[in-house]
Structure 1
């Protein structure tokens, strides 16, 4: 990283939370780690969840756990570096808008800690790491993974033209639901596509909660979001989105002939989503952030159920 010099001194980040990047990372590296959101890994965890769901569900269908630990480890690395690359791309394209929004004006590019060219070089490095992970899989999975880049590239521009950018985010963040099956079976059938659709509904829901933090600023600078679209009807919209997510994921489990452990995981996942709707106050930004982050735990609960089901099915094989 010494080949990516920083323009000017490393200024403190206005929304710094005392995370490991601010406390322990070398000073020269901090702007780049913030570009990749390594100081705020929640997005990487949320990108990872559909990957792990699909990997566990596919292992259960195959009744073979032998590759699951390695696949999950590779997905973990891939999710973190590719989410970092995606965030860097987003910051490059949004650098002018970010300077007008209170929460984002301290990001490395608008605050002058790195230039757009330096950020682009860092993004390429992350993509190369992601490629190194991707080529560990079969040719079909490699092609499936590369196809997702079209959606990732398009996402930052959607907030300028539609009130539904969260759908495009959902298409990108749910891609792992396809990857888990592509890696395991080198093909895609109905189950992963239904799981993918359920994950998209989940992503639209939780990112609507997240977008309420910026609703006032977004309105001023002309950024569109489902938070602005739904407004006071957000709880009703979330009820529909989360119900759709649970129904579609449940349909995927049914199509996969999943056992009772997976269904318990889905029930706990559904209860967690319902509690978010009950607790939500769109005027309370800290609460919105807390509820948004809690979706990692919701996703892990479902994953545990799917792994338990895969173990049970393998033992009965």
Structure 2
């Protein structure tokens, strides 16, 4: 009896333990991702304006699936857990493909020809509308040398090519070269143009005005930029304080008119004296002659613009 017991105990001790099943983490996540990807790409093909990018933002949920797999398999003593690296790499590759596919409609909407065409169409329509508004003041309209209106679509909704609140409209107006005697006159015309623009419904976000000196680099140069809401409540004199004014002579800019005129007068004086002495056997001209010639040449260099007529009466001003 003892011998049988010992033989049975030895036999039990020598019996090997059952091998653990190997479970590769990542296969379930890979399979689910393949199914979801196929479904989403089909929906993108047949559903207009489907926002695939918003779905791709839930990609971190894949990590949750992998974590659940690990917890389930680790809880079982008869299972050995291993990572299926091919499945994990496959998941990453599919996410890259889907992410690129979701960005294609967004990039097309932002940089595609349809967006540019819509912006150009709006720019032309607003320019026509702007010029029609200027018909209310023909004298002011005649001063406009160049007009550019730029429309920028800042919204990113796919397929939406209409002006929205977040979009911007900028107006650039070039006024006559050497057309203003001072910044106040320049600011007054800028205000009148902006007011007519607003009344016509252009509703620009900002205005930019420029008046340059002549091609020889002589004259007065003014620039003014402001938001459409800025001018409300300001007088022309107050608005003129925002004007950037430069006074040019022979291509050189001066910050004030007096310095420019003094520099020009001094150089013209030397020219007048040199020319007179050359024509009159080195005789020196009289001061009256010098002053007269300098004034004439100053008037040619810096002509005084014709006085602007009063703005045309409107129902508001007539009242």
TM over 0.5: no
TM-score (norm. length: structure 1) = 0.25
**Greater relative CO, 1 or 2 (CA 8 Å, sep 6+):** 1
| Larger-Rg structure | 2
TM-score (norm. length: structure 2) = 0.25
Q: Which has the higher strand share?
A: 2
Q: Which has the higher helix share?
A: 1
